[in-house]
Amino acid sequence: MAATSRGTSPVPPDVRPRLTVLSGPSGVGKSTVVAHMRKVHPEVWLSVSATTRKPRPGERNGVHYFFVDDEEFDKLIANGELLEWAEFAGNRYGTPRRAVLDRLEAGEPVLLEIDLQGARLVRQSMPEAQLVFLAPPGWDELVRRLTGRGTEAPDVIERRLAAAKVELAAEAEFDTTLVNTSVEDVARELLTLMLQASGLRGTDD
């Protein structure tokens, strides 16, 4: 089944590459979509965030995240090295500023996968960014995905589901919604949105 696109952002007249932010509730499939993008479209540059969260099995430092301790995260903030950062479900996450700006200056479209608070901060500091909301096909499916992933303890799942309710209520703040029914379809639509927003050609393959 195809991913459903609810609403679209107008294609801007300028041709500057734009930052694209992908956000959505925990368990909706953001990491899965991003992993698929990495595999099928390695040319798309994905920001790697710093986090104080402990790595999950299979997660690699410098690939999925830069895993740092609290002290190192404090330093990143103090030195102004983060474009934005937020606390989410008891851990801190932030986007390294320099790497993102370098890529944008080099003319490459850039993708950030960050939480709602981060998306709002990016909207303030870079109003030209396009904000894409990844929505679940329904609440029950979101619960199933988050529980089925099996990476979090029940209390952490509860915290993430509470955060998910807040995140779902913020959908209207985003330029576009993609419903994650099919990972392949979402990745394709996301790539098209990124290329269109950057004044480059959208693809249908």
Ligand X SMILES: Nc1ncnc2c1ncn2[C@@H]1O[C@H](COP(=O)(O)OP(=O)(O)O)[C@@H](O)[C@H]1O
Q: Which residues bind to ligand GDP, rule: CB under 6 A?
A: 26-27, 30-31, 49, 53, 84-86, 88, 93-95, 113-115, 117-118
Q: Is 32 in the site for ligand X (CB under 6 A)?
A: yes
Nearer to ligand GDP, 20 or 49 (CB): 49
185 binds, among ligand X, ligand GDP, none (CB under 5 to 8 A by kind): none
Tell whether residue 138 is among the known ligand binding residues.
Answer: no
Provide the minimum distance between the beta carbon of 80 and ligand X in the complex, in angstroms, as a whole number: 28
Provide the minimum distance between the beta carbon of 67 and ligand GDP in the complex, in angstroms, as a whole number: 11
Q: Is 148 in the site for ligand X (CB under 6 A)?
A: yes
Angstrom distance (rounded) from CA 2 to CA 182: 6
DSSP conformational letter for 202 = P
Provide the minimum distance between the beta carbon of 193 and ligand X in the complex, in angstroms, as a whole number: 17
> Can you read off the two tokens belonging to residue 200?
């480059």
- SS3 sequence of 148-159: HHCCCCHHHHHH
Strand order of the β-sheet with 130-135 is: 5-6, 176-179, 130-135, 19-23, 110-113, 45-46
Angstrom distance (rounded) from CA 88 to CA 24: 13
**Which residue shows structure tokens 């103090």?**
78
Numbered residues of the known binding site for ATP: 24-31
Footprint of ligand X on this chain (CB under 6 A)?
A: 26-32, 145, 148-149, 180-183
